[in-house]
Structures are given as C-alpha cells and as structure tokens.
C-alpha cells in the first residue's frame, strides 16, 4: 500500500511540472465549452435559427389587406419586406432584385372577398423560388395559410355578431394559439428546455478526459525507454501496483476536470450570455459515469503508451485518435444534426458511449439501469485496454535483455 | 553470495548463454566483460530475475532466485546502464520514490538517502531537478539509487559509459569502499580494461555465451587479458 502511495505521489510530482499537459486538461475544455455553448446557443434556442426572408406585394390598400400584413408580420422566424404595385406580375422581379426566395401577393378584391367570405384564397398568390428548402416552403405555406384562415374566421365571427366592436375584433385577431411546451425526458416529460450547454459540457469534458494520454505517455514512455520499469521490477514492484499507482492520480485529475467543467457550465457560461447547465437529479449516476469514463480514458492511455516508442508518437497518435473519436462520436458536432449513416458510425467511438450516458442523465433524467449498454461497453473497452497494457508491459520486462 | 549454475538461454535459434556457471563471493568485486552480443546483458537480466533461463539455477545468499524471487531480490541493488531516472523530479524526489519502492520509509529512508548521497558526492545537489544535472551527476544518482537500502549484492551494467574522469573516479572509489568496508558483493560489467584492473578481484569473460575466463584477476597477466579481449576493449 505504501508503495502505491509513493507511486501516486511521484505521478503528482511529475504532473505538477507538466504545465502544458495541465493546460490541455483544464484550459482547453473550459474554452471549448464557452465557445461551443455560445456558438450553438441559437441552434438550441426557443426561436431556433430559422430566419426566412419573404416579400409581400399588395395590390390594394384596404383594411383587410393591412390586417393580413399585420398578422403575417407577427409570425416568428420570418423577416418581411413590403413592396407596393398594382400588378402581381411585378413580384418575381422584386424578389430577384432583393435576393428573396419567398413571396406573397395580395390581389385586388381581397377586401371584398373577406367581406363576402368567399374566394379569399383566390386573392392570395404565393411565389416560391426553386432554391427554397422543403422545410422553408412548408413553413411559408403554413404561415400564409394560417393567416388567411385567421382573417376569415374573425370576419365570420363579426358577421354572426353584428354588435362586435372594432376593439373586440382586434382582440380576436390578437389572440394567439399557444401550445404548452414539454420536453421528452426518458419516458416522462419535463419543462426544462434542452440547451447548447448541456451538449457542450459533457462533450468537451469527455474529450478532455481522453487527453489524459499526454501526461500519462510523457512519463510512461520514458519509464519504458529509460529502463525505469525494469529497475522497478528488480525492486519487487509488481506490474499491478505500477498500473494502479498510475491510475489513481489520473483518476483524481479526471474527477477534478469533471467538477470544474460542471462549474464552468453552471456559473461561467451564463456570465457570458449563455444558458446555465442543468445537471438533472441523478448526481450519483453522474459520478458513476464520470468514474467509468475516467477508468476508460486512463486504460486507453496506458495501452497506447505501452505500444508506442516515443512521447511524440504517443502525443500524435493519441491526439489524432482522440479527434477522430470526437468527430464521429458526436463531441464536435451533435449527433442529431448528422445524417443517419453517421449516427450509426458513432457507435464505434467510446466517446459517444460516454456522451450517450451523460446526456441520458442530464436531459432524460434516466437511471443507471437505463444506460447499462453504453456503460457496459465502456467498461469492456477499458478492461481490454488495461489488459493490453499489462500484457505488453509484462512481455517487455521479460524481453529486457 | 551468488551461485550461478549451468545457465542456458536461447532466443529463437540463437543460444545466447551456454552452460554458464560462476560464483561471486561476499565482499568481492567481479568484473564481467565480453564483446557486444557476448551475452552480458542477458546474463544480468537473468541475475535480476527479469527473465528466466531455459536451464540452470541461481542462488542469491542461499535463496533460489526463481523459487523465492521476492525474497532473493531484497538482497539485490541494480544499476542499469541507462540512467533510469525521472528527469523532471529532483534528485531527492528520485531517491524518495525509489527508496519507497524497496520498502524504506520514514527515518530509515532519510538515513539511507543521506548515506548514498554522501557516498556519491551528491548531497549538495539533491534539491535540483535531475534535468539540470550534468551527465556525470546523473550517473552518480543512478548509482545512488542502486545503493539505497544498503543491498548485499550490487549489479552494475557499465556504469561509467560516457562519464567524465572525475565522475568515473568517484564511482570506482565508492565501489571499492562498499566492497571492502561493507562486504558488498559486486558484479560489474565494463568495456574498460583499466577499470576492471583497478577495482576487480575476480574476472569473468564471456565469449558468444560461453565463459572463457573465470579466475582471480591477480593470477591473470595484463598481456593475456589483452589477448583475451582481442583488442576489442578500450584502454
């Protein structure tokens, strides 16, 4: 036990002098969390990043057409520009001139059609550029269609109720249909809205945990290269206690990273205008996932450091593999924006197993029993890596000739 | 103190050691010399218990090395040819760490560090980081670590390669003192004939895995030694 303690102390002595590694472990993920949380904030925000430019051409200046335009402008996600002309035929030219893909024309007779509640749809013409995406097209058609329906409905109400005052009409038009929003949380629902910081914090935390490869390989490769491990073997130090004494300090470092990154998400990101991290209720579950991830990242680092010959090789190969794991594992780009085949490819990245586990706890408030598959995969991967490291080390010491 | 009997080791098709037998008695310094590839490093690894011989046995202070390795290794101090240190740690931190690894703690560890740092003339440099040591100082620290815990047997694998004359003198003087004053048994590999002649009592010469000389140094003439070495060793 004392030997393990001395080994742990030695790793801390080495680590505290490895400033670059500490920067990679703590500063890099903090910056990534801040940058990516703010950069992706709109992608997760309530209003999303939908921002469609559309043009309105109005052939007549009537109460009904003004009401129609007012209602259209209230719809979120659109930026409307108006043009006045007596000819709908002028709309395409105006749209091309202004580089606008969506247009709606209110034709002569719209006011009368509303008044008579007949043929309103014939007095509205919409123009859609072929470059428009299918989603934008549907949104635009829905916006125009729902506005026509609303105007028509209010005028029907006023015809049924001749005593309806102007104020009552305006109030009826102002009424909005709001759906109460709930978000899926496992098999339950929650009112907590998913935010970019809930993707960024676990993603970049996992990424930085895997960068433990740099300090581990710095010492481990040198120990192998300089014959220190052989010397320790002659001192009756077992491979098991050597590996354990390496795992303990880096496990502590990983857990400090975990707490530090959560604090960045909870307190620092909001200071810069982002959303605060909501960590859910399953704190013990988070600790388990973080511990399993730490076991995996350290074992993976030890395995890699056992097979390379120089620290440069370890840093290069480890760094590139980490970036590949991150790219396909949904760390750099959220999985939900990837096409199906890329989402399926993510299964091969251990980082994606960790991210899946964290997100299940953060967003879906699931229990550990719900995430046994990714956790089991992580434990299996970590055990294989650790076994490989022990096997290689044992073989290397036997070949010390 | 060390009794090696009929050690044979083969790697693939190559017989690296062939029926090697020798004895290192208490308080003696035995020189182990031979050309590159003669089998010195393999023999040293077997004597440390890092690899097992195909045949033969090794007894350390009456304990069979491969039957009770942990106990037998307690008697062994090992100084590898490479400076197996942690360059980013200070000399004292290196000694503290390796001392703990051989089971020394508290006052015993502090006392042992004082002794070995004095013996290797490093006491004033212990708090410097090893990366700032000269090559000679690193070699002395490498030796100091091997001396921690005052082992009964010391294996040294070419400890003076690439060091300045002053450091070489410190190392050789230290080894002589350890042998004569503490009765430490030392097995010393070297390429330098003058070193062997200066400190060794006994000489083993390995040639292609076979012991071709096994005798007291004083009974060997300098000329015949040179003949054994075919001019392949540096004077």
Chain A, nearest residue to B146 by Cα = A231
**Between chains, do B51 and A399 touch, taking CB under 8 Å as contact?**
yes
Spans of chain A, pLDDT less than 70 = 42-50, 162, 164, 166-167, 169-194, 398-401
- Judging by beta carbons within 10 Å of its beta carbon (0-12, 13-18, 19+), is residue A319 exposed, middle or buried? middle
Nearest to A107 by CA among A81, A127, A93: A127
Residue B10 DSSP label: E
| C-alpha radius of gyration, chain B, whole number | 17
Q: In Å, how far is B130's CA from the nearest CA of chain A?
A: 12
Q: Which of B45, B102, B145 sits opposite A400 (nearest CB)?
A: B45
Residue B4 DSSP label: E
Spans of chain B, pLDDT less than 70 = 221-235
pLDDT at B192: 79
pLDDT at A76: 77
**Residue B98 near chain A (CB below 8 Å):** yes
Angstrom CA distances, A174 to A151, A178, A214, B213, stand at 11, 12, 61, 109
**Between chains, do B51 and A2 touch, taking CB under 8 Å as contact?**
no
**Residue A234 near chain B (CB below 8 Å):** yes
Q: Which of B76, B80, B101 sits opposite A6 (nearest CB)?
A: B101
CA distance A310 to A313: 5
pLDDT at A188: 57
CA distance B71 to A354: 45
Q: Cβ contacts of residue A129 below 8 Å, gap of 6+?
A: A95, A101, A102
Residue A104 DSSP label: E
Q: Cβ contacts of residue B195 below 8 Å, gap of 6+?
A: B31, B160, B168, B172, B188
Using an 8 Å CB-CB cutoff, list chain B residues near A222.
Answer: 86-87
CB A18 within 8 A of CB B88: yes
Q: Torsions phi, psi of A131, nearest 5?
A: -75, -10
Q: Which of residues 235-274 of A touch B (CB under 8 A)?
A: 235-237
Chain B, nearest residue to A230 by Cα = B50
**Between chains, do A398 and B103 touch, taking CB under 8 Å as contact?**
no
Taking phi over 0 as left and psi of -120 to 50 as alpha, with beta for the rest, A31 belongs to alpha
Q: In Å, how far is B135's CA from the nearest CA of chain A?
A: 14
**Buried b or exposed e, range B128-163, using 16+ CB within 10 angstroms:** eebeebeebbbbbbbbbbbbbbebbbbbbbbbbeeb
**Buried b or exposed e, range B45-78, using 16+ CB within 10 angstroms:** bbbbbbbebeebebbbbebebeeebeebbbbbbb
CA distance A207 to A157: 60
Q: Which of residues 9-28 of A touch B (CB under 8 A)?
A: 9-10, 13-14, 17-18
Chain B, nearest residue to A229 by Cα = B84
CB B142 within 8 A of CB B159: yes
**Residue B27 near chain A (CB below 8 Å):** no
**Between chains, do A14 and B88 touch, taking CB under 8 Å as contact?**
yes
CA distance B90 to B99: 14
CA distance A108 to A50: 31
Strand locations in A48-205 (E):
52-58, 78-84, 102-106, 124-128, 183-185, 188-190
A157 token code pair: 């109400």
pLDDT at B234: 43
Chain B, nearest residue to A18 by Cα = B88
**Residue B86 near chain A (CB below 8 Å):** yes
C-alpha triplet B223, B227, B231: angle, nearest 5°: 105
**What number of other Cβ atoms are within 10 A of residue B39's Cβ?**
26
Q: In Å, how far is A295's CA from the nearest CA of chain B?
A: 24
Q: In Å, how far is A3's CA from the nearest CA of chain B?
A: 5
Q: Cβ contacts of residue B89 below 8 Å, gap of 6+?
A: A10, A13, A14, A17, B97, B129, B130
CA distance B118 to B141: 11
**Residue B121 near chain A (CB below 8 Å):** no
CB A197 within 8 A of CB A267: no
pLDDT at A193: 60
Using an 8 Å CB-CB cutoff, list chain B residues near A249.
Answer: none
CA distance A393 to A304: 12
**Residue B51 near chain A (CB below 8 Å):** yes
B84 token code pair: 């197996």
Q: Which of A10, A222, A234 sits opposite B48 (nearest CB)?
A: A234
CB B130 within 8 A of CB B139: no
In chain B, helix, strand, coil percent, each to 5?
40, 30, 35
On whether the pTM is more than 0.80, the answer is no
**Between chains, do A10 and B93 touch, taking CB under 8 Å as contact?**
yes
């Amino acid at each position: 036990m004392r030997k393990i303690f001395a080994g742990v102390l030695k790793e801390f002595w080495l680590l505290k002098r490895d400033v670059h590694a500490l920067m990679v472990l703590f500063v890099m993920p903090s910056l990534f969390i801040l940058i990516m949380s703010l950069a992706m904030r709109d992608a997760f925000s309530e209003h999303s990043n939908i921002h469609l430019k559309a043009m309105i051409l109005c052939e007549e200046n009537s109460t009904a057409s003004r009401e129609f335009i007012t209602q259209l402008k209230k719809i979120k996600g659109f930026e409307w520009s108006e043009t006045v002309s007596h000819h709908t035929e002028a709309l395409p030219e105006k749209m091309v001139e202004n580089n606008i893909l969506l247009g709606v024309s209110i034709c002569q007779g719209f006011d009368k059609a509303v008044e008579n509640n007949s043929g309103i749809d014939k007095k509205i013409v919409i123009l859609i550029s072929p470059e428009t995406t299918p989603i934008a097209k549907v949104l635009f058609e829905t916006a125009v269609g729902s506005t026509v329906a609303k105007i028509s409905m209010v005028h029907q109400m006023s015809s049924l109720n001749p005593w309806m005052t102007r104020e009552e009409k305006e109030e009826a038009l102002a009424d909005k249909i709001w759906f109460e929003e709930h978000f899926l949380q496992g098999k339950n629902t929650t009112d907590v809205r998913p935010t970019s910081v809930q993707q960024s914090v676990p993603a970049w935390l996992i990424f930085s945990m895997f960068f433990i490869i740099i300090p581990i390989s710095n010492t481990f490769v040198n120990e192998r290269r300089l014959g220190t491990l052989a010397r320790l073997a002659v001192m009756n130090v077992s491979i098991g206690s050597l590996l354990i004494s390496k795992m303990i300090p880096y496990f502590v470092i990983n857990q400090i990273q975990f707490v530090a990154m959560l604090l960045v998400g909870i307190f620092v990101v909001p200071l810069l205008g982002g959303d605060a991290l909501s960590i859910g209720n399953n704190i013990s579950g988070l600790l388990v996932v973080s511990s399993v991830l730490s076991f995996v990242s350290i074992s993976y680092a030890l395995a890699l450091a056992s097979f390379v010959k120089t620290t440069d090789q370890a840093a290069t190969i480890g760094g590139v593999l980490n970036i590949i794991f991150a790219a396909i594992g949904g760390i750099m780009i959220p999985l939900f924006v990837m096409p199906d085949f890329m989402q399926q490819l993510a299964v091969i990245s251990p980082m994606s197993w960790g991210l899946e586990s964290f997100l299940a706890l953060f967003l879906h408030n699931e229990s550990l029993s719900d995430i046994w598959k990714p956790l089991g995969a992580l434990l299996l991967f970590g055990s294989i890596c650790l076994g490989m490291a022990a096997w290689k080390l044992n073989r290397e010491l036997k070949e010390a000739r | 103190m060390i009794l090696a009997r009929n050690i044979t080791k083969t790697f693939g098709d190559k017989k690296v050691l062939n029926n090697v037998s020798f004895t290192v008695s208490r308080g003696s310094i035995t020189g182990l010399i031979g050309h590159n590839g003669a089998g010195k490093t393999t023999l040293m690894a077997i004597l440390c218990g890092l690899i097992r011989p195909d045949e033969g046995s090794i007894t350390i202070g009456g304990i069979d090395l491969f039957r009770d390795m942990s106990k037998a290794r307690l008697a062994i101090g090992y100084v590898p040819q490479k400076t197996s240190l942690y360059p980013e740690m200070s000399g004292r931190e290196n000694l503290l760490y390796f001392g703990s690894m051989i089971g020394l703690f508290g006052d015993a560890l502090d006392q042992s560090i004082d002794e070995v740092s004095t013996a290797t003339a490093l006491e004033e440099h212990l708090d410097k980081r090893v990366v700032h040591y000269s090559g000679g100082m690193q070699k002395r620290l490498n030796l100091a670590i091997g001396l921690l815990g005052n082992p009964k047997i010391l294996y040294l694998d070419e400890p003076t390669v690439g060091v300045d004359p002053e450091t070489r003198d410190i190392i050789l003087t230290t080894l002589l003192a350890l042998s004569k004053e503490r009765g430490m048994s030392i097995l010393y590999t070297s390429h330098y004939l003058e070193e062997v002649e200066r400190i060794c009592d006994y000489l083993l010469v390995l040639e292609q895995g076979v012991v071709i000389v096994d005798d007291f140094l004083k009974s060997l003439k300098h000329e015949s030694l040179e003949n054994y070495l075919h001019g392949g060793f540096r004077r």
